[in-house]
Structure 1
Amino acid sequence: MAFSHGAIQQIPTTSPTVYAFRVSGHIDDDDSEALAKFMLAAFDRHDDKIDMLLDLTGFTGSDWDSIFDGDVIKSRFRALSGVRRYAVIGAPSAAATMIDLMDKVIPVEAKSFKASEAAAAWAFVGATEAPVGT
């Protein structure tokens, strides 16, 4: 079953090891915690690394205090060893700069893409959005 919580909706993909999400609106603490728990379970299901894509073209902000939630912290640490490639579409300028900088210091290939580069982001993670009904 696809993940859906508040502003975050999972996007079905053509690969079982690519997890993609679309953010529409404001991410609150409950959204962050629910996604963290979902991804911790996903890491447990896979022996190999997974790839992630996050579409932030509809993102309007977040509750920054959610970074102190225990599950959110655990999922971020697990991502360092469990994610191979991480693509972000439409990140705000400061976030895009941070993602591209972090790519050089963390063991995850991380890259930001402009909204007009969505196809390149999907190619980067090796999947496409699955057709509706599959």
Structure 2
Amino acid sequence: MAGNELNLEACLHRIKYSGKIDVSADTLQGLHICYTTNVPFENLDIIRGKEILLDNKSLFKKIVLRKRGGCCFEMNFFFEFILKSLGFKVRSFWEDQLPIMNRLMPRFINYCLWKLEIKIGSPMSALGATDL
């Protein structure tokens, strides 16, 4: 992303992540802890009646450059952007879609499903892995 407005190094600096950068459970947990600890949940734009923009460029400007937080959609979409930029394979689901996935799980081999939530009152670490 060098030379791009969406600078991954700036994202990691914003969340104060200085750990190892690889696609691993340890990195995932470290990123999740740093993100939930350093980027606040806030709904000020909703209260003010401002439009919520969910594209990566708008989220980067708000969360990284303006050092703000965001509502649940903003927080989750931007965290997904960071994870994908680091090479993680990410697929988002609505909470009510997860039971459907449980029926599909036996078809997958050598994968892990991590349930991560970025929301007010979210856990300080990833909720755990399920072998698929």
Fold shared per TM-score above 0.5: no
TM-score (ref. length: structure 1): 0.28
Structure with more helix by fraction: 2
TM-score (ref. length: structure 2): 0.28
Q: Which has the larger radius of gyration?
A: 2
Structure with more strand by fraction: 1
